[in-house]
């Protein structure tokens, strides 16, 4: 992975300032979306996937761990939130909380098992665990198998914000996304993030310096899983359903695709990648199954022509970290 990201520049005050400017620009752009005539539902969905891709990027871009089972966090949090909201009639904030907590717990268990191995073995273990969960959810009565959990009530957040109003829901999702994004940004630039990067570059050396790398990797895995779960819980309010699609392995693949298209190990790359992929799915939907083929072509050309991804190439060109 180092070949892709070794030109990440060291954090300087200038880089920090640049990133905050881009962040502010992104926040403003997203905030005015409802007044532009762009279909807000599409943007909400893209925001959920953007947060998911960012969480995934935290693990692979900065920790060098390629998880091929991140859909399990998305789906688990989605199912738990959906069940809590619909069957237990939890208020939205509690629903999000239990969903995210479930993903965190899952992250602890799966992370503990999978970080014992490295490279392709790590990826395969995460894939195996997510497939295991997929079949569990296929059979478990509370998920309603192929039908999924449907017609989930949106309710009032904190008793004030009526989430069934698209505009209110949009800003709630936006705030959730920005908060998650900032948390990831903060993590990357913390001493913890520096240690993660050093593990990515040279794990034996990090061990020789006295770092317990397994613990760092586990924490990164749990954090990534938790944030992916948070995205899954938010998505429940947008889509009002939780289905097997979200735990299927192809979803894990899509997350990898989004991150790669946007730029691995870049801060804004996954957001751009998520918007590109979701927009493709949305506007090319008329082509049916061909969407998958088009996605494949884009994936191949992305890997062959601009390996750093859209944002990664831009950052490289501008000699900035983005």
Partner 1 sequence: MKTTISALLLGTALTLASAGLASAQDKTVKIGSLSDQSGLYADLAGPGSTLAAQMAVEDSKLKDKGWKIDIISGDHQNKPDIGTTIARQWFDVDKVDVVVDVPNSGVALAVNNVVKEKNGVYINSGAATSDLTNAQCSPNTVHWTYDTYMLAHATGQALVKAGGDTWFFLTADYAFGAALERDTTAVVKENGGKVLGGVKHPLNTADFSSFLLQAQASKAKIIGLANAGGDTTNSIKQAAEFGIGKGGQKLAGLLLFLTDVKAIGLETAQGLNFTETFYWDLNDQTRAFSKRFSERMKNNAPPTMVQAGVYAGLMHYFKALEALGGNPHDGAKIVAKMKEIPADDPLFGKGVVEANGRVTHNAYLFEVKKPSESKGPWDLYKLVGTVPGDQAFTPLSQSTCALLKK
Binding mask 205-234 for partner 1 (x = CB under 8 A): ------------------------------
Decide whether 217 or 248 has the Cβ nearer to partner 1: 248
Other CB atoms within 10 Å distance of the CB of residue 210: 6
- Buried/exposed 64-77: b ≥16 CB within 10 Å, e otherwise: bbbbbbbbbbbbbb
Q: Which of 147, 167, 190, 303 binds partner 1 (CB under 8 A)?
A: 147
| 162 phi, psi to nearest 5 deg | -80, 105
35 binds partner 1 (CB under 8 A): no
| 140 phi, psi to nearest 5 deg | -60, 135
CB of 261 to partner 1, least distance (A): 20
Q: Which residues contact 19 (CB under 8 A, 6 or more apart)?
A: 185, 267, 321, 322
285 binds partner 1 (CB under 8 A): yes
Q: Which of 245, 280, 298, 307 binds partner 1 (CB under 8 A)?
A: 245
243 binds partner 1 (CB under 8 A): yes
CB 197 within 8 A of CB 11: no
Q: Which of 239, 257, 314, 322 binds partner 1 (CB under 8 A)?
A: 239
Q: Which of 203, 241, 253, 320 binds partner 1 (CB under 8 A)?
A: 241
Q: Which of 75, 107, 148, 265 binds partner 1 (CB under 8 A)?
A: 148
Q: Using DSSP bridges, classify how beta strands 149-150 and 156-157 pair: parallel, antiparallel or unpaired.
A: unpaired
Q: Which of 26, 144, 189, 249 binds partner 1 (CB under 8 A)?
A: 144
198 binds partner 1 (CB under 8 A): no
Q: What angle do CA 9, 10, 12 make, to 5 degrees?
A: 110
């Amino acid at each position: 992975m180092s070949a892709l990201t070794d030109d990440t520049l060291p954090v300087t005050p200038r880089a920090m300032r640049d990133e905050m400017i881009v962040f502010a620009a992104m926040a403003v752009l997203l905030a005015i979306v409802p007044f532009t005539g762009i279909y807000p539902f599409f943007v909400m969905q893209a925001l959920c996937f953007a947060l998911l891709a960012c969480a995934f990027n935290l693990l692979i871009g900065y920790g060098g761990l390629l998880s091929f089972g991140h859909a399990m966090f998305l789906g688990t949090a989605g199912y738990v939130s959906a069940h809590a909201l619909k069957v237990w009639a939890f208020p939205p904030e509690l629903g999000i909380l239990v969903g995210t907590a479930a993903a965190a717990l899952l992250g602890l268990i799966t992370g503990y098992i999978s970080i014992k191995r490295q490279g392709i073995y790590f990826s395969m273990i995460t894939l195996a665990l997510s497939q295991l969960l997929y079949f569990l959810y296929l059979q478990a009565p509370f998920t309603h198998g192929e039908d999924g959990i449907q017609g989930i009530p949106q309710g009032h957040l904190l008793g004030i914000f009526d989430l069934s109003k698209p505009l209110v829901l949009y800003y709630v999702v936006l705030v959730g996304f920005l908060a998650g994004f900032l948390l990831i940004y903060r993590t990357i630039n913390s001493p913890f993030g520096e240690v993660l990067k050093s593990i990515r570059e040279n794990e034996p050396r990090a061990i020789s310096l006295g770092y317990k790398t397994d613990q760092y990797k586990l924490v990164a895995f749990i954090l990534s899983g938790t944030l992916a779960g948070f995205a899954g819980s938010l998505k429940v309010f947008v889509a009002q359903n939780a289905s097997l699609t979200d735990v299927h392995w192809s979803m894990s693949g899509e997350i990898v695709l989004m991150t790669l298209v946007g730029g691995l190990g870049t801060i804004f790359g996954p957001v751009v990648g998520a918007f590109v992929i979701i927009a493709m799915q949305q506007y090319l939907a008329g082509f049916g199954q061909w969407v998958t083929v088009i996605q494949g072509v884009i994936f191949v050309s992305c890997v062959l022509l601009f390996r750093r991804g859209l944002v990664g190439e831009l950052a490289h060109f501008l000699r900035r970290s983005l």
